[in-house]
Amino acid sequence: MSTHPLAGKTAIVTGASSGIGRAIAEKLGAAGAHVYLAGRTRDAMEASQVKIEAGGGRAAVVTLDVRKVQDVQDLVARAQRETGRLDIMVNNAGLSFPAAIIDGDPEEWRSMLETNVLALLVGCQAAVRAMRACKADGHIVNISSIAAQRNDSGVYGATKHAVNCVCSTLRKELEEDSIRVVNIMPGAIATNFARNFDPAFVANFARAAGVEIEVKRGERLPDEVMDRLQPMMKQVLSSPDDVADAVYYAVTQPIHVNVAEIVVRPPKQLAL
């Protein structure tokens, strides 16, 4: 089997600055894809670009705000223009503000809806058009959440229920196309996703693993903290690499195989 099964293919990964998105981008790059890493933190993505290129792959970095429709459309257009094709679109960008509805901030709701749902919709639509134009055997991978499996998972969960609905609907719309739609639902993953959670909760969680950190709401936790935390709490925290492996599996299947949904979670489940 080839060590570069994605050679000659173009892939886009949104939310590629850290965590799951970064792991997916690096995994696809190592498999030979020309990866476009899209996100807000350029330095982090450039570090991944160096890693991918050091392994013989190709990568480009695009800073953008996925809440802006034109930014997402321009991202897909750039990848198609520069490489002549698009084979894999990973809509990974997402965020959570886990406040109770009665206490919630409508602007935080807006951010979640625009990031988790609208940006994903725009990415899907643009990707379909690009894949059809180059007649690709394409894969659209949407990162949802196990929160979509619960009916009481709040506004964040509502956005992920929407993602699952989008995936199922788009999969039906594309039954006659050579484009597969893959829905990945991660459980608790050791990422900076929890940066908007209550700081005391995050600090206590880390303390239980023997890691003392000062947590400020909205600030990223250092990578070394996440790297240390996950192995110590692997019963309740999966690694971003576990999700990247699931994505890699799905996009390397032959196009006649429809890998519709994959749940990736640790042995013990947390209510997200």
Domain presence at residue 271: no
Domain containing 230: what range? 190-237
Confidence (pTM): 0.86
Question: Contact, 26 vs 45, CB < 8 A?
Answer: no
User: Same domain, yes or no, for 110 and 229?
Assistant: no
CA dihedral 263, 268, 271, 272 (to 10 degrees): -50
- The more confident residue out of 28 and 204 is 28
Please tell me which residue, 138 or 232, carries the higher pLDDT value. 138
Is 156 a residue of the active site? Answer: yes
- Residue 130 predicted with pLDDT over 60: yes
Q: How far is CA 169 from CA 15, 76, 87, 121, 124, in A?
A: 23, 21, 20, 11, 12
Question: Residues 252-263: pLDDT tens digits?
Answer: 999 999 999 999
Judge if 111 and 222 occupy the same domain. Answer: no
pLDDT surpassing 70 at residue 265: yes
Q: Do residues 113 and 201 share a domain? A: no
pLDDT tens per residue, range 57-106: 999 999 999 999 999 999 999 999 999 999 999 999 999 998 999 999 99
Do 114 and 158 fall within a single domain?
Answer: yes
Greater confidence, 158 or 195?
158
The active-site residue out of 36, 156, 248, 249 is: 156
Burial of residue 78 (number of CB atoms within 10 Å: 0-12, 13-18, 19+): middle
Query: Comparing 29-33, 95-99, 106-110, which segment has the lowest mean pLDDT?
Result: 95-99
CATH of the domain at 93: 3.40.50.720
| Digit-coded pLDDT (tens) for 202-253 | 566 556 556 665 656 555 555 655 566 655 566 667 789 999 999 999 999 9
Q: In 3D, which of 133, 137, 92 has the Cα closest to residue 257? A: 137
Quick one: 119 and 174 in the same domain?
Answer: yes
Q: Are residues 133 and 23 both part of a single domain?
A: yes
